[in-house]
Structure 1
Amino acid sequence: MRRSYKAIRVMLMAALLVGSTAVAQAAGYKYGDKGGDIVDLQKKLVTYGYKARVNGEYDANTKWAVRLFQRDHHMEVDGITGPDTYKAIMGKPFNESRVGKITRMAKAKLDKEMADSRAAAAKRAASSKQGVGKKAVRKGSADDSLFSGIHRDPVDEDFKFAATTTMSKEVKSLLAVAEQYKGVPYVFGGTTPQGFDCSGYTRYVFAKAGINLPRMADEQYNVGKAVDKQHLQPGDLVFFETYEPGVSHSGIYIGNGRFISATSSRGVAIADLSGGYWGSRYIGAKRVM
């Protein structure tokens, strides 16, 4: 009888695991997924005028097509085809039997997309030296309505201002606010001192200085003036490529080769800009104040 109870318990746990996996898969399509009805999704995007490649892979191209669709339809812009986005594109709810069959794109292809994205970012950074990017969006801008919506690093020192006499009062105030939230835990989608994600943190800090940044890290990269790494000043936004091609992490440069950001491993923390995990993932910087 004891064995029978044990067997039943194992079967129940397995059923719960399968059920939870199906729910997780049914939550939506995201970068790196393959299969399901991604082909049908891509065909729909093409008919709407978005340049998605019809290949059955949720690659960077598809992600950006989805982001544009979300932006144009005043939805949360995250590049993920969740239930609401799926229904808006496809005109029907998820077909869970198809969503449950998704796999992952080949690692070699994901690595290549990442490498191509780094090369493109480097090219953009080089060309941007000849001109000035868009200005930071100030409070009250209509553009803001579009964006409402594991690693370890050895550096963990006390917050320090750069040793400079040219730092403005506004920058000092900005860095003081940034330091105030050191240690706040990381929360995916977090935008408040109860929990931040990377772009939620930078947006919150700059809002305190009267500068209203877009919600997502890659959109924040599109504002302000491009800055060479060797000419960084405290208060500059710094950007990195992490879990997917293109800008996916943002932080605030604080001087002396360090920056502060909301990280998934340590919450809001200080790290070395050029070494460790972040050095090889640095993409560029923008000055918005």
Structure 2
Amino acid sequence: MSITYGFIGSGNMAKAMIGGIVTSGLAKPDCVVASNPSAQKLDLLKEEFGIETILKDNKTAAKLSDVVILSVKPYLYERVIAEIKDMVRPDAIVVMIAAGQTIAANEARFGRPVKLVRVMPNTPALVGEAMSAVCFNTNITADDKKIVMDMLNSFGRAEEVPETLMDAVTGVSGSSPAYVYLFIEAMADAAVLHGMPRAQAYTFAAQSVLGAAKMVLETGMHPGALKDNVCSPGGTTIEAVAALESNGLRAAVIDAVDTCVRKSKEMSK
């Protein structure tokens, strides 16, 4: 049975998700619906992914869809749900991808039983490497979960978490690409200091981060053990690690994630 995925809003995250769904073969372009007040954004989706059903009408998009993805800013949720709630079919799955939007608050906005999913993806979805956290309300069945997980895995990795951990997810994956970009930029600056051309420095730094992350994911080894494997006695790497530790790298990262989590909790109130 084919599934129709409907996107209410078509910004960067929606574009990334649509790209994953279509290019992975999870669904054909004619099984994707998108709505947006901007005709220009809709035309770009049609041009890039071959989507034919592009609409300015959120109600029609919701009515046509088996999976309704609310890809709008958090402050628009109340207005958009009020607009589409009577159009969402009883068996449709509604996926929320906005920070701070809880399951309970949006169940209340629908005012009736609805299959509701809360997702926290991150911007590497744009290159098919998202890390998404997902939690489900009690109306979601095992089959519904598979549909959602297949969708999320089409543009990266996804894991189910309890909703109480969504703020922690914001700190460790939702916002963390920015921390990594800072780290890559700093490493490249150091290489430039020692004579490497900047573009080449970014390539060396970024590929090293990518490779190191892949080692953690694919070997299953503890990051500390992988670090130890690179640190030869009296060598260059242990000297560098010592410098990072003396300058408080570990404490700074923990403080950054903690600050992000606390801010996320404030936004969820």
Q: Which has the higher contact order (CA 8 A, sep 6+)?
A: 1
Same fold (TM over 0.5): no
Question: Which structure has greater helix proportion?
Answer: 2
Shorter-chain TM-score: which interval?
Answer: under 0.3
Q: TM-score, normalised by structure 1?
A: 0.25
TM-score normalised over the length of structure 2: 0.27
